[in-house]
Structure 1
Amino acid sequence: MSVPRTVLICHASDAFDREGLAAWLASFTELAGIVVIEETREQRRARVKRELRRVGWLRFGDVVAMRIYQRLVLARRDRQWARGALQAMKDRYGSTPDVPTVTIASINDDVAIAFMRSAAPDIVIARCKQLMKRKAIGLARIGCFVMHPGICPEYRNAHGCFWALAERDLDKVGMTLLKIDAGVDTGPVYGHYSVDVDERNESHVVIQYRAVLDNLDEVAERLIDIANGSARPIDTRSRESAVWGQPWLTRYLRWKRAARMLNP
């Protein structure tokens, strides 16, 4: 089979994806384009309102406290790690490839749809927080896939690694290669990938990025198997399924306290 054509969807603010994963994809597929999402202020406000409706004012304060703590205490070290990880990917896979790129606010708008249709991808890798509608999902010949930060179906939504750590469910800290359907991380699972966790010294953000970084070779092999038709999804029908929300500061501090007790 010929090398599969791919499109990467990522956020403008995430160089790990926009530069590093783009170089990785180009190393074993024909990267046909990159869709860069630059959300508007209105979209960010709408996400805040959805979370507020979901958890209520009291728990939302816990979410906001976590964001503030992350910005004031964790962000500097996380950025330092991200710079090193990006450089390691560039050293291994080369610089960011020069491919057609479009910047949009919504992955489901007409410009994004037209761009992906013209790229004619076999596989789309979606590294975005936005849910794709059926019209976008259906543009890839083989399918759209996410490298989900968490083990599905137990830890669905965007912060699965955090909640597995907070729940002390350490066997479920990792990443899932999942084919997108119309639900929230409910599609066929094509791989579960683990990560060696340094709970005491690493933030949940670093751990969930490492769940991707440390498994790139295995994911590349799996994607090629999917492209040539030899891969089959994992049967997860008998397993529990749960959707988790934004990280809470109270649960973060409880997690770190438990990690210190386990590794004094």
Structure 2
Amino acid sequence: MKVVLLAGRSASTPLIYNYLSKEISFEAVLIEDKVSSRQLLKRRIKKLGYGVVFGQLVFQTLFVKLLRKTSQKRINEILSQYELDTRPIPDEEITYIPSVNDESAIAKLIEIAPDIVVVNGTRIISKNVLETVPATFINMHVGITPGYRGVHGAYWALVNEDKSNAGVTIHYIDQGIDTGKVIAQDTINVTDEDNFVTYPYLQTAKGLRLMLCAIKSIIKGERPESDSKVAFSKLWSHPTIYQYLYNYLCKNVK
């Protein structure tokens, strides 16, 4: 079967490529450009308002950068423990596209005619793209769906004192936001050394094994599915600086 990696320019994309390519041969790797910061801001302000977006920006531009610097030792420990390979994807393997929903992306998918499309960190994929080829689109989501859709699933689970649902989901992609049928889920073990920036590495490490198993099952002609660990559904956004400080000081969630 032909397998394509359709991904964004995120830190987890090389991890996924390097892990899966040990056993899976990718027919192509399609990498989309980032959404412009201006466009992202407009969307967020329209949806959440100026106050929330300001608080999110302060947290992301100041605190997240600081957390990354102070957590590098722990990140390296996770990378080593799970044998995660951070090397860049060879440039000759990559086809760059403006967006997953661009006509050039659709044309490339039609040309390749993949059987499986592994998605990571892209825009919401349009119905037009999903119906372009009769492929199975699957995604790794760093959260337990449908309860922790959106972003920072493990962080919000811990904030909610729901540690048993701090984890990762492999799911089929539909037209919603992380609403596709669940293939497999697993939880992470959080230590006192972990925080907002290390949770995703733990989730990705757990999710890679699940993703590989899912791909192998689909190649065999199976359609693996699993019941979700949660019954509720909620879409989460980035925390603001005020939320993060409150959750850190009052709930000890870093």
TM over 0.5: yes
The structure that is helix-richer by fraction is: 1
Aligned length: 252
Q: State the 1:107 CA deviation.
A: 0.9
CA contact (8 A) 2:99 2:105 kept: yes
Measured in 1, the distance between the counterparts of 2:195 and 2:230 equals 31
Measured in 1, the distance between the counterparts of 2:35 and 2:227 equals 38
CA contact (8 A) 1:153 1:236 kept: yes
Q: Which residue of 2 aligns with 1:25?
A: 20
Match of 1:60 among 53, 57, 75: 53
Match of 1:183 among 159, 164, 176: 176
- Which consecutive unaligned segments of at least 5 residues does structure 2 have? none
TM-score by length of 2: 0.85
Correspondence 1:46 to 2:21: no
Secondary structure, counterpart of 1:178 in structure 2? strand
Correspondence 1:109 to 2:102: yes
Q: State the 1:50 CA deviation.
A: 1.6
Correspondence 1:35 to 2:30: yes
Q: Which residue of 2 aligns with 1:10?
A: 7
Measured in 2, the distance between the counterparts of 1:84 and 1:15 equals 16
Aligned positions of 1:1-264 closer than 5 A: 4-12=1-9, 14-17=10-13, 19-39=14-34, 41=36, 44-78=37-71, 88-90=83-85, 96=89, 100-139=93-132, 141-198=134-191, 200-236=192-228, 239-257=231-249, 260=252
Code of the residue aligned with 1:232 in structure 2: it is P
Kindly provide the CA deviation profile for residues 8-53 of structure 1, in whole angstroms up to 9, marking residues without a partner as x.
12223x3431x32112222222211111122253xx3222122112
Identity %: 23
Measured in 2, the distance between the counterparts of 1:80 and 1:117 equals 44
CA contact (8 A) 1:5 1:29 kept: no
Rate the CA distance shift 1:184–1:114 in 2: closer, same or farther, 3 A.
same
Rate the CA distance shift 1:121–1:83 in 2: closer, same or farther, 3 A.
farther
The root-mean-square deviation of aligned C-alpha atoms, in Å, is 2.9
Measured in 2, the distance between the counterparts of 1:215 and 1:15 equals 15
- Which consecutive unaligned segments of at least 5 residues does structure 1 have? none
Measured in 2, the distance between the counterparts of 1:257 and 1:121 equals 49
Rate the CA distance shift 1:64–1:97 in 2: closer, same or farther, 3 A.
closer
Rate the CA distance shift 1:80–1:6 in 2: closer, same or farther, 3 A.
farther
